[in-house]
A and B are shown apart, each in its own frame.
Chain A
Amino acid sequence: MAIPTSGFTGRRKNRDANLPPGQYLTDSFPVLSAGPTPHVLPADWTFRVDAGPGQTHQWNWEQLQALPQEDVTRDIHCVTHWSKFGTTWRGVSLDTLFEDVESEAEYTMVHSYGGYTTNVPLDDLLDGKAWIVHEFDGEPLAPAHGGPARLLVPHLYFWKSAKWVNGIRLMEQDLPGFWETNGYNMYGDPWREERYW
């Protein structure tokens, strides 16, 4: 049982059943990244799914744009305690990108320009749960927020939604990515407060 903090009343504006434990609501869009922002031009951008030898699927920017696009509105939750409700994105469902991928693997490593990685179980990327997005709020996604394209996997803490995404590699066992080797949880469910090791 938590002890009361003498004199603290709080603001309460944030009480909402849609807010996971330990989170507060913000209207701004804070940025969290480990290093300098890579600047990748759409013309140079590629995305690949690597499902093993001879099983690589790759798309360039034009090919991504030619796939069916979805408009997605979701709440997002950052491990640094802020949440933002009703963010709007546009992009391609991973169900579309994985349509022709055959694999027994259950885990994935998401890779980004600049070297960032994060691990996500394959089940958490499929069945309408994840997208490669290139627009935020009706505008092209800004580099600081992961543009030209980032992963969006909004039911997990937002570090799993890798910015500057350029590929997903399928793995038979679950291995930690960047933040996961630096103190953060392997899975990252905000509703179970899976923040740290």
Chain B
Amino acid sequence: MRRSWQTVEVSAARRETARARTLRLRFPDVVTGVPGQHVDLRLTAEDGYQAVRSYSVAAWVPPRELELTVEELDDGEVSPFLVGTLSVGDQLEVRGPVGGWFTWTPDLAGPLQLIAGGSGVVPLMAMLRSHSEARSDVPARLLYSVRSPDHMFYRGELDVVVQEDPQVTVDIAYSRVAPDGRSAGRLTHEAVTASCFPPGDAPAVYICGSTGFVEAVAAWLVEDGHDAARIRTERYGG
């Protein structure tokens, strides 16, 4: 990893939802990392005031680019700027990628179980993309809990991944509003159990979401008999 700050350029941007945007950043040199890692972004105002935040990498675009997906927080200082103001061609400072725990590489043993709440899907999407790009023969499942279809990130791409990668299964759970033919409601223990590899398969489990989401889901999986040492968690806002 690079300890120092590097200046990167926003090379592309696209909307994910009304409140979230994916930014593609172009580095001056080759940038490498592992799915699940994050970068620190530093913004500087004209008078020198600075703000730093961490964002998970959503996609690696070799050799010199990566993508972040940022969701606007109601009381945010940085996220509204990144989602609403920053333009293609603008420059930012980046440190990283960093992080050596909440990461997955295709050589890891066991099925890959990903469980996302809301924008917690971002680092898990990086893992799923890596799984597909590596043509990994490890079975992978993503359980993605969203408020409504309008809150869903990467919808088109998830459809493509499921069609093209026979090892991947994606389950979407809608907590507030569901599309026709589906019902909405709070994610339950039963639904999580039904969408996960059983403990006997010894999956490597990655859970990312709000603290409440991560606490509940991780506790259910431990109750189901999953080895706590194989469950890795990350929370946004923390």
Q: Which residues of A contact B (CB under 8 A)?
A: 2-15, 22-24, 28, 30-39, 78, 80-82, 114-115, 144, 178-179, 181-183, 195-197
CB-CB under 8 A from B54, the residues of chain A are 80-81
Chain B interface size range: 35 or more
Contact of A114 among B49, B52, B102, B228 (CB under 8 A): B228
Looking at chain B's contact residues, the main secondary structure is: mixed
Stretch at the interface among B79-87, B106-114, B161-169: B79-87
A2 to chain B, nearest CB (A): 4
Q: How far is the CA of A31 from the CA of B43 in the complex (A)?
A: 24
CB-CB under 8 A from B228, the residues of chain A are 35-36, 38, 114
Q: How far is the CA of A3 from the CA of B49 in the complex (A)?
A: 11
Q: How far is the CA of A34 from the CA of B5 in the complex (A)?
A: 26
Q: How far is the CA of A24 from the CA of B41 in the complex (A)?
A: 13
Please count the residue pairs between chain A and chain B whose beta carbons lie under 8 angstroms apart in the complex.
127
The 9 residue pairs across chains A and B that have the minimum distance between CB atoms: A30-B238, A182-B100, A36-B218, A183-B100, A182-B101, A5-B43, A22-B52, A11-B77, A2-B44
Is B179's beta carbon under 8 Å from chain A? no
- Nearest-neighbor residue (CB-CB) of B50 within chain A: A2
* Known contacts A3-B93, A5-B90, A6-B91, A30 near B50 by CB under 8 Å: no
- Nearest-neighbor residue (CB-CB) of A115 within chain B: B229
CB-CB under 8 A from A80, the residues of chain B are 54, 238
Contact of A14 among B44, B77, B95, B96 (CB under 8 A): B77
Decide if A197 touches B86 in the complex (CB within 8 Å). no
Q: Which residues of B contact A (CB under 8 A)?
A: 1, 3, 5, 7, 40, 42-46, 48-54, 77, 81, 85-87, 90-93, 95-96, 98-102, 211, 214-215, 218-219, 221-222, 228-229, 231-233, 235, 237-238
Decide if A3 touches B7 in the complex (CB within 8 Å). yes
CB-CB under 8 A from B5, the residues of chain A are 2
- Some 9 contacts from A to B, beta carbons below 8 A apart, are A5-B43, A8-B51, A22-B52, A32-B238, A35-B232, A80-B54, A114-B228, A144-B215, A196-B1
CB-CB under 8 A from B95, the residues of chain A are 196
- Nearest-neighbor residue (CB-CB) of A144 within chain B: B215
- Nearest-neighbor residue (CB-CB) of A5 within chain B: B43
Decide if B235 touches A30 in the complex (CB within 8 Å). yes
Q: Apart from A2-B50, A7-B85, A183-B101, list 13 A-B contacts with CB within 8 A.
A: A4-B46, A5-B43, A7-B90, A8-B81, A24-B52, A31-B214, A33-B233, A34-B102, A35-B228, A36-B222, A37-B218, A179-B101, A196-B96
Q: How far is the CA of A5 from the CA of B52 in the complex (A)?
A: 12
- Most interface-central of B40, B100, B102 (chain A CB within 10 A): B100
